[in-house]
Structure 1
């Protein structure tokens, strides 16, 4: 456990610069987006009311009050989120490959540490999850600040006030990133953890067998996906909707746990037996 904590802390420190940069971009771009979108709406309101002599009632009847959803649906808000997701996806590969291709092939020193090689796998997957949850936590902190800026800029007569929960629930793409309940949080990020473990195992296949490993990695990923959706395929094409929704849900969880355990075992085997220093 002590070696795992040290390795996880080491890996988190290695990603801290990238993590900080992405957080800074998210902070600046989203706040600028709130200001730009609010000013755009207010400029339109001024133009209609002062140049075209519309009353407030006429303007609101035609254009409606401004909602924070207009900000959330803009590239100013979704762009940084997409960038953070891309950053995490990129780092899933970088966290392994830079150890091989970096200066002095650092992976050799890493694999020679006096600890189980599987500890390296757990430390790296922990780093990815900490990075992901860190982005989500930062977005949850940032949303109330952005709502305050929005309320400070747009007069009450011209805005439709919403809370953080309403904003999140009204955007399906955001509610996946920021789940509305503990169960959804466990399910969504459990599925993400499973996907990362499969990718890690695929990377280790490639590192173990080179070109043949690429084929093995693709095959492993395909088998994992088929196994995961096998209860759904069984339900649809074999047993004619025999299972109740709750039973099907539990079967999916069980299959996910089996695949996750299989990824851990396979990764451990590859690290111990196939990757040499």
Structure 2
């Protein structure tokens, strides 16, 4: 366990500057957009109040977040793309360069599956660090909004309303339904393991491995997609459908981890 944690720390340490850059980009774009939009709304409210129309111009934090769909989407989508690419780079960077890091990594005095799991754990740490950072940013942005907007100008809104007002949060980052949140991120975790195993297929068998990797991703994607989109409501109860889907996910996960552990332990050469 100690060696596994050291490997996780190593992977997190190697990506720390990129992670901080994504956080800085997210904060800079969102705060800039929030300040500008809020100032425009306050100015409009004051102009309306001067004309005697202020009773219809009050607005809430959720209204402003709803107006910032595009600006909030930019850093979130950039972060998703960067982390998605890093799922591959976290492996391939070890073979890049004259002094290949893979030679040292795979000769460490620890079982190789710890390398596999440490890299996966690092990816999950990055994802949930960004999700947690976005939640923190929303709390700070709400305080900034309350500070900028006089109380007589604004309407109160729940934090969940602010999240629901932005489609990027609801569809990609922060689903409000608990089960949907677990399903989204559970499928995301499963997808990371599938891609990891696909990379190991390519690394183990080289040119034929590319074909094996593509076929493997296609088969797993079909199984996961079939579990999500297959219409079974004419034959089973909702709880039974949930159980069937859960079993399919577990089967794909079990086979993926078994194959991945075998490849990293028996087939990968340095």
TM-score (normalizing by structure 1): 0.87
Q: Which residue is equivalent to 1:55?
A: 52
Contact 1:65 1:157 in 2 (8 A): no
Q: 2:136 aligns with which of 120, 123, 141?
A: 141
Identify if the C-alpha distance between structure 1 residues 64 and 215 changes in structure 2 by more than 3 Å, giving closer, same or farther.
Answer: farther
Q: Which runs of 5+ in 1 are unaligned?
A: none
- RCO greater where, 1 or 2, for CA within 8 Å and sep 6 or more? 2
Q: Distance in 1 between matches of 2:228 and 2:11?
A: 37
> Per-residue CA shift, 1:151-187, capped at 9, x if unaligned?
2222334333222222123444313412436544432
List per-residue Cα deviations over 1:8-61 (Å, max 9, x = no partner): 1111111111111111121222112111111122333445566xxx2234xx54
In the other structure, the counterpart of 1:267 is 260
Structure 2 distance, partners of 1:233, 1:183, is 16
Where in structure 2 are there 5+ consecutive unaligned residues? none
**For the residues of structure 1 that align with 2:9 and 2:65, how far apart are their CA atoms?**
36
> Is the contact between residue 37 and residue 71 of structure 1 (CA under 8 Å) also seen in structure 2?
no
Structure 2 vs 1, CA of residues 49 and 170 (structure 1 numbering), >3 Å: closer, same or farther?
closer
**Secondary structure, counterpart of 2:215 in structure 1:** helix
The equivalences for 1:68-87 within 5 A come to 68-74=62-68, 75-87=70-82
CA-based RMSD: 2.3
Selected match of 1:127 from 122, 127, 152 = 122
Contact 1:100 1:107 in 2 (8 A): yes
State the Cα distance separating 1:146 from its structure 2 match: 0.4
Check if 1:276 corresponds to 2:264. no
Q: Distance in 1 between matches of 2:75 and 2:155?
A: 24
Partner in structure 1 of residue 94 of structure 2: 99
Query: How does the TM-score come out when normalised to structure 2?
Result: 0.89
| Aligned counterparts of 1:24 and 1:252: Cα–Cα separation in 2 | 38
- 1:65 maps to what in 2? 59
Q: Is 1:209 matched up with 2:205? A: yes
Asked if structure 2 preserves the Cα contact closer than 8 Å seen for 1:33 and 1:71, the reply is no
1:187-198 to 2 correspondence within 5 Å? 187-198=183-194
Distance 1:163 1:233 in 2: 33
Q: Where does residue 224 of structure 2 map in the other structure?
A: 228
Q: In the aligned structure 2, how far is the partner of 1:142 from the partner of 1:233?
A: 34
- Cα pair 2:34 2:64 within 8 Å, conserved: no
Q: How many residues align?
A: 268
After superposition, the Cα gap between the structure-2 partners of 1:21 and 1:56, relative to the gap in structure 1 and judged at 3 Å, is: same
Alpha-carbon offset, residue 119 of structure 1: 1.0
Q: How many angstroms apart in 1 are the aligned matches of 2:111 and 2:81? A: 31
